[in-house]
Amino acid sequence: MKRALHGGRAIERLREGKRGLDFSANTNPLGPPEVLKSRWSELFPYVSLYPPLDPLFASPFIGKMYGLPQATILPCNGATQGIYLLARHLPGKTVAIVEPSFGEYRVAFASAGKRVISWFTFPERKIGDPKEVDIVVFGNPGNPLGDTEALDLYFSIRKRGLPTVFVVDEAFQEFMHEETSLTGRVLEDRNLYIVRSLTKYFALPGLRGGFLVAHPENIRYLAERLEPWSVNALLVRVLEILAEENLTPFREATERWLREEKAFLEEAFRECPFLSFYPSLVNFYTLWVTEGKGGIVPFLEERGIFVRSLADFEGLGECFFRIAVRTREENVRFLEAVKEYGR
């Protein structure tokens, strides 16, 4: 099985001697909450400790951070472990993935022996018959478009009374203030599984934090099948600290940054005659070259600006690429390079 590709390959690039600005990873450029920096000396000893063996040990901390019942939460080693866990243990043979989407969905379910088909919301909407699939997977919001177009599938299929299992990836919901989150429905919907990430909004990708949200009986079933020590000791302590902290200043700063930078970038995109963009709701954009044959991704890389090519995404091609919203200084440098490409 071919591995999915990813952005955020900063360590590999450094090993190759490549330095520059990383627009390929959709993490919060403000960095982790300040409390973690100020208490780092307290965190360091946890590097030498084994994590708790109980897979649900950190559930109360996450529940307090997100206002969710702890019985509905299963902490994981990043959202990706949650995806693979569900792929192995959910019933059903046929999986529909709403494309374009995160590549690990396809790899995970295909590796588990399931038949994987594609439904599309972009560039053209092509949705198959829900009666022909057992599981539907989509992002809320989706990656790489940053949209919620697939959300109506959940409600329309539920209105029809079909027993379809839904796996909904909400890795970027924090950037939307939880506006379209389905976490509040898991107690009434036993066939709904939500994947969440602790790494995007809180800028902690190196600690590999994520969690599943589902009905308590489903959580107990999955917890019995999760690998031991799936959440490292350092992350456990980080979550405990964040659960005790007033995160309002961090959230307000993130909201202000994102609002200002999205407005700045979108105005610049509209002034670029050879470039189009998808109106993302969150902290990244899909863009594509509308004139010429493309080649913008290697052009930017030569100038030390690393973006995520979308050539490997179902339904897209070499002219498509994704960028994260970064700081004003970084965004300006990106736009200057784009203008140079246009010239």
What CATH number should be reported for the domain holding residue 107? 3.40.640.10
Together in a domain, 203 and 329: no
The two three-digit tokens of residue 73, written as one number: 């939460």
Residue 17: predicted pLDDT:
64
- Nearest CA to 13 out of 219, 307, 263 is that of 307
Task: Say which residues have a Cβ less than 8 Å from residue 62's Cβ, sequence separation at least 6.
Answer: 68, 70, 73, 75, 198, 211, 239, 243
| pLDDT score recorded for residue 343 | 81
Let me know whether 232 and 253 are in one domain.
no
Q: Is residue 1 part of a domain?
A: no
Question: What's the token pair of residue 86?
Answer: 């569900």
Rg (alpha carbons) of the chain, rounded to whole number: 20
pLDDT at 87: 98
The answer as to whether 275 is a domain residue is yes
Q: What's the domain range around 273?
A: 10-31+248-342
Residue 138 sits in the same domain as residue 166: yes
Q: Which of 244, 264, 287 corresponds to the end of one domain?
A: 244
What are the pLDDT digits (tens) for 87-108? 999 999 999 999 999 999 999 9
96 and 212 housed in the same domain: yes
Segment-wise mean pLDDT, segments of 10 residues, the chain, 343 residues: 65 67 95 95 95 97 98 97 98 97 96 97 94 98 97 96 97 98 98 97 96 98 97 97 97 98 98 95 96 81 94 91 97 96 86
CATH of the domain at 334: 3.90.1150.10
Do 38 and 183 fall into the same domain? yes
The two beta strands, 165-169 and 135-139, are parallel
Total tally of structural domains belonging to the chain: 2
Q: Is residue 96 in a domain? A: yes
149 and 282 housed in the same domain? no
b (16+ CB within 10 A) / e for 235-256:
bbbbbeebbebeeeebeeebee
Contact in structure between 199 and 209 (CB atoms under 8 Å): yes
pTM: 0.94
Residues in Cβ contact with 95 at an 8 Å cutoff, skipping those fewer than 6 apart:
109, 114, 115, 116, 117, 133, 134, 135, 136, 137
> Which of 211, 228, 244 is a domain's end point?
244
Q: Residue 287 has what pLDDT?
A: 97
User: Which of residues 244, 272, 299 is at a domain's end?
Assistant: 244
Task: Let me know whether 38 and 27 are in one domain.
Answer: no
Pair 48, 146 in one domain: yes
Same domain for 264 and 131?
no
**Residues in contact with 298: Cβ distance below 8 Å, sequence separation at least 6, in sequence order:** none
CA separation (Å) from 40 to 31, 46, 288?
A: 14, 10, 41
Looking at the fold, whether 70 and 110 belong to one and the same domain comes out as yes
Sign for the pseudo-dihedral over CA of 25, 272, 290, 265:
positive
